[in-house]
């Protein structure tokens, strides 16, 4: 019997070897039934088997070990988290499965057509068979495995491409094609291509879902589609079907998601049951069970919440919940809040914040809810730290994040003044106490500080111990960690990338510096309110910077050196005593700080938080405490505006009378004497826009008289309009073409005094500073040019500082751009584009130019590129000028600028005026250095001042210089527009050029006039003699008229 069995096994082995040997002779170049079956066999049990095994093991690990973020809608599958960088990322790498699938496709694909059979040419099925792209009957499984692996790896676009390929190349497998379409739609949902996903899903017919797996995949994909479309209610029916067909960790996850969708739909009872199923599942981790129980409490609808609260409080007793105490108290707070018991809700939210052992989204949600309650109750002082601590811990995709951020910013600003008022009030009270009482208060504060530091040290010790335990292995199997826990920077990453470190730094800053408003020169004790200052008053002795380690008083030589250290250390009594006002002058400073704080608190409450009762309280508090304060007029006016908004006519009349009687000569008083003031106030928004449009158009049309009339009407009827700075600025600019420098300066100075913090302040300050420095007012014949060239290219907030102008690189060998500037309301952009394109096409056969259009308000740009250097642009401009068929509009201005310089203008928010002014200054500097001896030129800002030499002396020196210059003079250019030293060009500053007056740029070393004048030869000093040498006379510079390209009509020449 044993011999017979051995004989049988031997025969089977030999037969198998013979069969394999026979099939191995089948080549992929052959397509027979035997070769197809053999190739499918080894594809399945060799290459594909290994890849499929790795795929299933990795998928199972991913689904079981992924920690969902329960503070948001959980994903239908962990792989979808790879599309959201803010979500916890799953484990598992499917690269090996992708490689196996690719190998199977590469080495086991049968592309060769089978031998044709006679008599079947007209058979439709045979025709379809012969048109196939693949004859390996198993290879579609490798394609599907590759697509699924790409999806699970987060390559959603690659997966969609793979599944699309399957739908087009395996049409004889309808079930495979349907599955591939669903996976393709699911990939589109993951990257928010919802239209494409909907087109696929809606075209799949119910009878195409032939098995349970296809129905599950179809329902799950439709759930994804509706969730991503913000239609949670429509997703519920599909998710219910998907839950029924799922199992294991996926079933628990989908039940939790179902509870969340029911909650959003308002179906709290169904949500309670869904969370119960998720929490009671055998595959649920403890973290999932805990969060499901918390969610149940949030949707509890029973009338008596006592039992629910007791159940949650029992959870606080277990050691395994010590890291979840904040969530438990948060859930209790939600129960009380659902019953309108705000007192108990606040108490539990505060306990939740205190019990939190880690930063993250859970703590942030507690703080946001608590801050919202304080905010609604008007307790802004308590609301501010809640928002300030919570926002750095939530992603910017959090619902209503921008509104929360704006509210937090307003509260931060309010807190600065509120804390200053509280501090100065306390210091004033202490200043009237005896030294013994002051010392006692200081000792009490020191004891509280030491106690707080001890508690913080203990908390830090606990966190360190907990971190060490986590590093050695999580005792709870990985379930105790939050998916969005932030830790302090332990690597070399940038400080501001970690919100926790930023919060810690902010706390340390406030400890050292106190609460300070975010503004320029925040270290300084005294800040100038004027927008500009002359060179003589630039150094202010009062504006001393205070370092955090610098005391208010200097330590004398005879004092104990340790005393100075104690004054800066809050652990010593001297630190507190040093801050207490000691005389009437210091008390007056403290009262000034309180006045400023009360006024600004009222303004913030009125304008930003729109809490009129609270604003009125602060204003009344200031008026009662300081009847003659410096903010009295503005306070009256703000109280008046609030009364108007509320329709309280009695209060309105009260504050109007106070303004008219006490401040009759103020702009408010003059305006309120008009009995139609309230009516004008209501009409102001519409009328002021209308007036400004008319004034602006009048300025463009050079009707300066209309500009002045519009300003006068605005000053008379709406003096408090927010557009008054713009009216004052355009009214001042109208004096430029009228050649009235005194009125121009006077108007700008008045504007700066009344409105020192507007977006026009830097421009006005620069003009006044230029006039003070002796620069001349360049009054052209038209207004339009100045308005256009000063248009900012980009964000106004990125505009360069007037004190730190842009620095350009004027290298003629850099890549250049030829830009045509034009006013969009005068020139048709499309017609200009067509004309230039036609010229390029007809004039250049080989060279191809790119045309790009850009708009910045009224300023239009047509950019022609590329040009390797200025020489190429010179050739292009000469061809452009010679084209008789091209007639450019008179308003078009050509500018040559390097690509690097133009990119700098865009990124910095600069204007072409910045570029023109730089080229002008550079031209003047280069000319000065070339013409004058070294001892006569120094630092120059390009400001051309009147020569101090006598006219006769200048003429004599000019005549002496002509012979030597004329001998070396080059051939005069015929162009009417001179260029800068480097060949950078710009529009003319005076009259617009002729329609086709486009001349080639040159690289002349100095500006030229239309009739070039010889440059004077430098005068060298006489050789030294025994006597003291007489100083050489300063040569007079020739007259350089404005109007060169790159020197485009600055207001100040």
Q: What is the CATH number of the domain that holds 712?
A: 1.25.40.10
pLDDT over 90, % of the chain: 24
* pLDDT at residue number 86: 82
Cα–Cα distance, 1044 to 1034 (Å, whole number): 26
**704-717 vs 677-700: helix crossing angle, rounded to 10:** 170
Q: Give percent of the chain above pLDDT 70.
A: 72
Whether 775 and 834 map to the same domain: the answer is no
Cα–Cα dist 396/1048, whole Å: 45
406 domain-assigned: no
178: confidence class by pLDDT, cuts 50, 70, 90: very high
Please state, rounded to an integer, the average pLDDT across all residues of the chain.
76
39, 135 Cβ separation under 8 angstroms? no
Q: Of 117-131, 533-547, 647-661, which gets the smallest average pLDDT?
A: 533-547
Integer Cα distance of 482 and 88 in angstroms: 9
pLDDT surpasses 90 at 734: no
* Residue 711 and residue 814 share a domain: no
Separation between Cα atoms, residue 856 and residue 858, nearest integer Å = 6
pLDDT of residue 561: 56
DSSP 269-286: HHHHHHHHHHHH-TT--H
- Structural domain ending residue among the three candidates 301, 324, 341: 301
Q: Which CATH number is 833's domain given? A: 3.30.70.260
Q: How far apart, in whole angstroms, are the C-alpha atoms of residue 332 and residue 993? A: 77
420 within domain boundaries: no
Same domain assignment for residues 761 and 818: no
pLDDT in the model for residue 238? 95
Q: Does residue 931 form part of some domain?
A: yes
Residue 871: pLDDT band with limits 50, 70, 90: confident
- Supply the pLDDT for residue 860: 87
Cα–Cα distance for residue pair 265/281, rounded to 1 Å: 24
Mean pLDDT of 802-815: 76
pLDDT at 934: 52
Mean pLDDT, rounded, for 431-459: 88
pLDDT at 215 over 50: yes
With a threshold of 0.85, does the pTM exceed it? no
* Position 950 in a domain: no
Q: Please, are residues 145 and 163 in contact by the beta-carbon 8 Å criterion?
A: no
Q: Evaluate whether 334 touches 298 at the Cβ level (below 8 Å).
A: yes
Q: Which two structure tokens, joined as six digits, stand for 360?
A: 């993250």
- 946, pLDDT greater than 70: no
Any domain includes 162: no
Give, in order, the Cα–Cα distances in Å from 727 to each of 20, 73, 266: 94, 52, 54
Give the C-alpha separation, 982 to 979, whole Å: 8
601 or 323, higher pLDDT: 601
Q: Is the pLDDT of residue 485 over 70?
A: no
Q: What is the pLDDT of residue 234?
A: 94
Q: Are residues 905 and 1053 in the same domain?
A: yes
Q: What is the structure's pLDDT at 257?
A: 95
Average pLDDT over every residue of 372-397: 87
Contact 732, 764 (CB under 8 A): yes
767 with 863, same domain: the answer is no
Task: Kindly tell me if the per-residue pLDDT of 687 is higher than 70.
Answer: yes
Distance from the first to the final alpha carbon of the chain: 119
Q: How far is CA 358 from the centre of its chain?
A: 28
Alpha-carbon distance of 100 to 146, in angstroms, equals 8
Q: Are 811 and 776 part of one and the same domain? A: no
Q: Which two tokens stand for residue 649?
A: 């006519």
C-beta separation of 201 from 238 below 8 A: no
Q: 10 or 216, which is more confident? A: 216
Going by C-alpha positions, the residue among 665, 655, 605, 607 that lies closest to residue 635 is 655
Over range 432-441, report the average pLDDT: 90
* Domain-embedded: residue 774: yes
Instruction: Using pLDDT thresholds of 50, 70 and 90, give the confidence band for residue 755.
Output: confident
**Residue 247 DSSP label:** -
Q: 614: which 2 tokens? A: 């609270």
Q: Indicate the burial class of 454 (C-beta count within 10 angstroms; 0-12, 13-18, 19 or more).
A: exposed
State residue 503's pLDDT score.
54
**What pLDDT score was predicted for residue 887?**
82
- SS3 track for 628-691: CCCCHHHHHHHHHHHHHHHCCHHHHHHHHHHHHHHCCCCHHHHHHCCCCHHHHHHHHHHHHHHH
**Mean pLDDT along residues 1040-1046:** 37
Task: Give every CB contact of residue 670 below 8 A, 6+ residues apart in sequence.
Answer: 664, 719
List the structure tokens of 90. Answer: 């799953």
Based on the fold, state whether residues 908 and 1051 are members of the same structural domain. yes
Judgement on whether residues 817 and 928 belong to the same structural domain of the protein: yes
777 and 811 inside one domain? no
Asked whether residue 544 carries a pLDDT value surpassing 80, the answer given is: no
Q: Are 167 and 180 in contact (CB under 8 A)?
A: yes
- Last residue of one domain, picked from the residues 782, 797, 827: 782
Strand 816-823 to 859-867 pairing: antiparallel
Residue 71: inside a domain, yes or no?
no
Tokens at 372, concatenated:
């919202």
The predicted pLDDT at position 941 comes to 37
Is 605 in contact with 616 (CB distance < 8 Å)? no
Residue 797 is given by DSSP the state G
* Beta carbons of 819 and 863 less than 8 angstroms apart: yes
Asked, for residue 734, whether it belongs to a domain, the answer is yes
- In three-state form (DSSP H/G/I as H, E/B as E, the rest C), the secondary structure along 14-29 is HHHHHHHHHHHCCCCC
| Mean pLDDT calculated for residue range 723-752 | 87
Phi, psi dihedral angles at 1052 (to 5 degrees): -110, 115
pLDDT of residue 795: 55
Q: What is the pLDDT of residue 196?
A: 92
Q: Are residues 810 and 709 in the same domain?
A: no
Buried b (16+ CB within 10 A) or exposed e, 307-335: ebbeebeebeeeeebebbbbbbbbbbbbb
Residue 692 pLDDT grade (very low, low, confident, very high; cuts 50, 70, 90)? confident
Nearest 5°: phi and psi at 519? Answer: -160, 170
Alpha carbons 538 and 535: distance in angstroms, whole number: 5
Q: Are residues 829 and 911 located together in one domain of the fold? A: yes
Whole-number Å distance between alpha carbons of 648 and 641? 10
Total number of residues shown for the chain:
1053
CA distances from 6 to 251, 407, 534, 600 (A): 51, 87, 112, 102
How high is the pLDDT of residue 468? 74
Domain final residue, candidates 30, 47, 64: 47
Range of the domain at 255: 249-301
pLDDT of residue 339: 82
Let me know whether 771 and 844 are in one domain: no
Q: Which residues pair with 349 in a beta bridge?
A: none
What is the pLDDT at residue 721?
A: 78
| Number of structural domains found in the chain | 4
888-928: pLDDT as tens digits: 888 788 888 888 888 888 887 777 777 877 776 666 566 45
pLDDT of residue 98: 95
């Amino acid at each position: 019997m044993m011999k017979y069995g051995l004989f049988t096994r031997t025969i089977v082995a030999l037969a198998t070897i013979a069969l394999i040997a026979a099939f191995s002779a089948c080549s992929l170049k052959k397509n027979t039934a035997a070769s197809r079956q053999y190739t499918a066999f080894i594809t399945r049990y060799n290459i594909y088997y290994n890849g499929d095994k790795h795929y299933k093991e990795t998928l199972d690990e991913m689904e079981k070990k992924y920690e969902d973020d329960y503070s948001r809608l959980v994903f239908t599958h962990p792989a979808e988290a790879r599309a959201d960088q803010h979500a916890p990322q799953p484990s598992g790498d499917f690269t090996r499965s992708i490689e196996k699938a690719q190998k199977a496709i590469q080495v086991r694909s049968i592309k060769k057509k089978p031998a044709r059979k006679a008599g079947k040419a007209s058979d439709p099925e045979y025709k379809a068979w012969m048109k196939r792209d693949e004859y390996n009957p198993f290879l579609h499984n490798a394609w599907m495995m590759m697509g699924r692996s790409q999806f699970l790896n987060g390559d959603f676009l690659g997966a969609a491409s793979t599944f699309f390929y399957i739908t087009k190349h395996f049409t004889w497998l309808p079930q495979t094609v349907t599955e591939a379409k669903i996976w393709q739609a699911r990939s589109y949902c993951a990257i928010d291509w919802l239209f494409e996903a909907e087109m696929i899903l809606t075209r799949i017919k119910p009878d195409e879902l032939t098995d349970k797996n296809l129905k599950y995949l179809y329902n799950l994909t439709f759930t994804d589609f509706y969730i991503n479309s913000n239609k949670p209610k429509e997703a519920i029916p599909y998710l219910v079907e998907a839950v029924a067909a799922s199992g294991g960790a996926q079933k628990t996850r989908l039940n939790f998601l179902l509870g969340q969708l029911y909650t959003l739909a308002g179906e709290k009872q169904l949500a309670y049951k869904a969370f119960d199923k998720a929490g009671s599942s055998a595959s649920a981790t403890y973290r999932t069970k805990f969060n499901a129980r918390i969610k149940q409490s949030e949707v509890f609808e029973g009338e008596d919440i006592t039992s629910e609260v007791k159940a949650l409080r029992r959870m606080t007793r277990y050691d395994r919940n010590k890291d979840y105490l904040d969530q438990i108290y948060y859930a209790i707070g939600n129960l009380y809040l659902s019953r309108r018991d705000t007192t108990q809700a606040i108490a539990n939210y505060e306990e939740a914040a205190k019990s939190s052992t880690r930063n993250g989204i859970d703590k942030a949600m507690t703080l946001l809810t608590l801050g919202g309650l304080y905010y609604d109750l008007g307790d802004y002082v308590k609301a501010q730290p809640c928002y300030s601590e919570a926002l750095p811990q939530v992603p910017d995709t959090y619902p209503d994040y921008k509104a929360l951020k704006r509210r937090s910013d307003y509260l931060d600003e309010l807190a600065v003044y509120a804390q200053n008022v509280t501090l100065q009030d306390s210091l004033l009270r202490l200043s009237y106490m005896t030294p013994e009482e002051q010392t006692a208060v200081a000792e009490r504060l020191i004891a509280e500080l030491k106690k707080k530091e001890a508690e913080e040290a203990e908390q830090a010790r606990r966190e360190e111990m907990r971190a060490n335990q986590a590093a050695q292995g999580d005792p709870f199997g990985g379930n105790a960690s939050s998916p969005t826990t932030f830790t302090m920077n332990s690597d070399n990453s940038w400080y501001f990338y970690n919100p926790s470190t930023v919060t810690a730094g902010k706390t340390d800053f406030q400890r050292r510096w106190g609460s300070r408003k975010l503004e320029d020169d925040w270290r300084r004790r005294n800040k100038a309110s004027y927008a500009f200052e002359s060179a003589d008053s630039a150094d202010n002795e009062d504006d001393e910077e205070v370092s955090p380690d610098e005391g208010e008083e200097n330590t004398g030589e005879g004092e104990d050196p340790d005393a100075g250290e104690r004054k800066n250390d809050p652990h010593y009594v001297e630190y507190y005593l040093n801050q207490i006002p000691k005389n009437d002058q210091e008390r007056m400073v403290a009262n000034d700080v309180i006045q400023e704080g009360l006024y600004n608190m009222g303004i913030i409450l009125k304008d930003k938080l729109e809490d009129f009762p609270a604003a009125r309280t602060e204003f009344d508090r200031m008026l009662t405490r300081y009847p003659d304060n410096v903010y009295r007029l503005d306070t009256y006016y703000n109280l008046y505006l609030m009364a108007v908004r509320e329709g309280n006519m009695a209060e309105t009349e009260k504050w109007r009378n106070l303004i008219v009687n006490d401040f009759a000569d103020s702009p408010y008083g003059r305006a309120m004497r008009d009995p139609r003031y309230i009516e004008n106030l209501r009409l102001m928004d519409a009328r002021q826009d209308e007036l400004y449009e008319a004034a602006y158009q009048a300025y463009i049309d050079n009707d300066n008289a209309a500009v002045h009339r519009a300003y006068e009407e605005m000053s008379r009827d709406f003096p408090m309009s927010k557009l008054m700075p713009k009216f004052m600025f355009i009214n001042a600019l109208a004096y430029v073409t009228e050649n009235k420098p005194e009125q121009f300066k006077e108007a700008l100075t008045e504007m700066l005094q009344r409105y020192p913090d507007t977006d026009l302040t830097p421009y006005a300050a620069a003009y006044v500073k230029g006039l003070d420095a002796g620069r001349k007012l360049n009054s052209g014949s038209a207004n339009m040019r100045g308005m256009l060239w000063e248009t900012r290219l980009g964000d106004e907030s990125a505009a360069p500082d007037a004190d730190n102008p842009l620095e350009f690189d004027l290298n003629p060998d850099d890549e250049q751009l030829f830009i045509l500037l034009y006013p969009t309301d005068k020139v048709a952009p499309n017609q200009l584009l067509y004309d230039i394109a036609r010229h390029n096409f007809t004039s250049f056969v080989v060279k191809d130019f790119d045309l790009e259009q850009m708009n910045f308000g009224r300023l239009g740009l047509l950019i022609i590129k590329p040009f390797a250097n200025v020489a190429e642009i010179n050739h292009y401009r000469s061809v452009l000028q010679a084209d008789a068929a091209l007639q450019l509009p008179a308003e078009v201005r050509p500018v040559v600028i390097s690509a690097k310089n133009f990119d700098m203008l865009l990124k910095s928010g600069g204007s072409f005026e910045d570029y023109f002014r730089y080229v002008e200054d550079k031209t003047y500097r280069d000319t000065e250095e070339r013409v004058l001896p070294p001892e006569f030129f120094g630092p120059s800002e390009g400001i051309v001042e009147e020569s101090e030499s006598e006219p006769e002396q200048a003429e004599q020196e000019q005549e002496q210089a002509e012979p030597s210059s004329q001998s070396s003079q080059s051939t005069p250019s015929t162009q009417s527009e001179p260029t800068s030293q480097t060949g950078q060009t710009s529009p003319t500053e005076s009259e617009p050029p002729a329609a086709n007056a486009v001349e080639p740029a040159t690289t002349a070393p100095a500006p030229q006039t239309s009739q070039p004048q010889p440059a004077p030869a430098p005068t060298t000093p006489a050789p030294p003699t025994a006597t003291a040498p007489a100083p050489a006379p300063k040569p007079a510079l020739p007259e350089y008229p404005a109007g060169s390209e790159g020197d485009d009509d600055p207001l100040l020449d």
